[in-house]
Amino acid sequence: MNNANRSTKTPFLRTVKISERSGKDTIKIRIAAFILALAAGGLFILLIGYNPLEIYGMIVSGAFRSKMAFQATVKFMIPLLMSSLGVTLAFKMKFWNIGAEGQIIAGAVCASYFALFHSNWPHFLLLVAMFAAGFAGGGLWGFIPAYFKSKFNTNETLFTLMLNYIALHIIDYLRDGPWKDPDSSGFPKIARFTANAQIDKVLGVQFGWIIALLLVLLIFIYIKYTKQGYEISVVGESKSTANYAGMNVKRIMLRTMILSGGICGITGVIQAAGSDMTLASSVAGGVGFTAIIVSWLAYLNPFGILLVSFLFSILQKGSSVMQSAYGLSTYSANVLQGIILFFILGCEFFIRYKFTLYRKGEQKQ
């Protein structure tokens, strides 16, 4: 039979986009996804020979069982929350910023220059310089792909992703070359920051948590109540509409990506000077990629991001406690986290789409 004479058959199972689900239905889907996640994770735990209830109990209690454990949970949360807020600005504009990792690193590198070579400055002045340099470094790493996107319509997803690896190799170059610690005894590393260049602690945790909470409020106000925030939303909905309304799309794109990258750059400062106390290749630690998941799960809402970041941090900290308490391998803990996230993320598909079966008598096209 010729291709021209063949009739296109309607598939037995089809995906149909849902125009809008009620809030009640959305909540039901997410509750079902959470239950399925726990059930699938429990099955995995049973298969490796442990009691699921005990393991889950250890994960929750592990994040709160002591003051030190809770402080560690908050420490996990700070970079995740801040980088999620950073990429949210870009995503609101439908600029797919996959480069939070590189922007975190760029901010950490710029701040580390002052921490290493101007550590004799007054403490307050030094920290201000480090945060300003971190914002500038991350902002520059966000500006570059935005400029090429606005000028040559390059693919921002690939561009921002590739910049991650460039930033990572800059640290390798500095560690093995000009910034190599002369007292490293042959092992290449960058010197530890002096106490004067380290971020102070508030309630037992470096004060980055205060900056993160302030950013939640500021980003919410910026997006919802300012002219610039409105422009971001319009550009995200339709660049043609933004142009018709007289908005300078190029300027909006550049400004937003500088802010997005700059916030991630500040995250790098907090990680380097508040957690690691040095500049290491692990300064970002994959948090920039996790931030993408967090921001979308929270529907790009700053207060939703605060909640989701906290829950992610509980899972992260609790899993590490579970791993050490039961002698599980790192891979087992990672598999369990992956199973849970698979179901949580998978439910988002059913919020926007549904499957329909072909019914007998339905006309095929």
**Total number of domains constituting the chain:** 1
Asked if residue 183 belongs to a domain, the reply is yes
The residues that bridge with 13 in the sheet, in sequence order, are 357
Closest CA to 255 of 296, 227, 217: 227
Domain assignment of residue 167, yes or no: yes
d(C-alpha 195, C-alpha 331), whole Å = 36
Q: Give the DSSP letter string of 243-286.
A: HHTT--HHHHHHHHHHHHHHHHHHHHHHIIIIIISS--TTSSTT
Does residue 145 belong to any structural domain of this protein? yes
Phi, psi of 244 (to 5 degrees): -65, -35
Helix axis angle for 52-62 and 23-47, nearest 10°, is 110
- Supply 357's token pair: 């079966």
Amino acid at 338: G
- Nearest Cα neighbor of 304 from 288, 315, 320, 293 is 293
**Would 345 be classed as within a structural domain?**
no
CB 115 within 8 A of CB 130: yes
**Cα–Cα distance between 114 and 199 in angstroms, integer?**
13
Specify the pLDDT at position 358: 63
Is 336 within the bounds of a domain? no
AA identity, residue 11:
P
Task: Name the residue range of residue 99's domain.
Answer: 70-307
Residue 1: inside a domain, yes or no? no
- Find, among 297, 293, 292, the residue nearest to 164 by Cα: 292
Query: How far is the C-alpha of 197 from the C-alpha of 72, rounded, in Å?
Result: 21
Cα distances from 231 to residues 93, 96, 246, in angstroms, run 9, 17, 11
Radius of gyration of the chain (CA): 24
The confidence score (pLDDT) of residue 29 equals 85
In a domain, 28, yes or no: no
340, 41 Cβ separation under 8 angstroms:
yes
Helix-, strand-, coil-residue percentages of the chain, each rounded to 5: 70, 5, 25
Burial (CB count <10 Å: 0-12, 13-18, 19+), residue 290: buried
What pLDDT does residue 335 have?
Answer: 86
CB burial class (10 A; 0-12, 13-18, 19+) of residue 124? exposed
The predicted pLDDT at position 360 comes to 56
Question: Token pair for residue 95?
Answer: 């600029």
pTM recorded for the entire structure? 0.89
pLDDT value of residue 365 = 46
DSSP state of 363: P
The pLDDT value recorded for residue 55 is 86
How many CB atoms lie under 10 A from the CB of residue 229?
Answer: 18
The one-letter amino acid at 2: N
Given this model, what pLDDT does residue 1 score?
47
Low pLDDT (below 70) residues in the chain: 1-12, 358-365
Within a domain: 150: yes
